[in-house]
Amino acid sequence: MAKKFDIKVENIVASVALGIRIPLESLVHHLEGTEYEPEQFPGLVYRMKDPKVAFLLFSSGKIVCTGARKVEDVEFAVKALSKK
């Protein structure tokens, strides 16, 4: 008999490629809660409080969302980010 495992989702990492360039320098001034130090890391870090996720935004148009525990949280966070 196969052993049953108690699997818990702790962290979802999702990514999207927008197909357009993202002006990171201007986002720093328009989004509250960002960190951008291009000498140390090429992406802008944006931390959202509700849901509690972090976005990594790259000038290439790629966005990575991390920290969500449910797919619904990722979807909500991405929609909220797109409205900002």
pLDDT tens digit sequence for 2-45: 788 998 888 999 999 999 999 999 999 888 889 999 999 999 99
Residue 7 falls inside a structural domain: no
Q: How many domains does one find in the chain? A: 1
Domain that holds residue 38: 12-82
Query: Rounded to 5 degrees, what are φ and ψ at 60?
Result: -70, -15
pLDDT tens digit sequence for 65-80: 999 999 999 999 999 9
Read off the DSSP letter of residue 15. Answer: E
Instruction: Indicate which CATH number applies to the domain containing 52.
Output: 3.30.310.10
Query: Rounded to 5 degrees, what are φ and ψ at 75?
Result: -60, -45
The distance of Cα 76 from the centroid of its chain, to the nearest Å, equals: 11
Read off the DSSP letter of residue 59. Answer: T
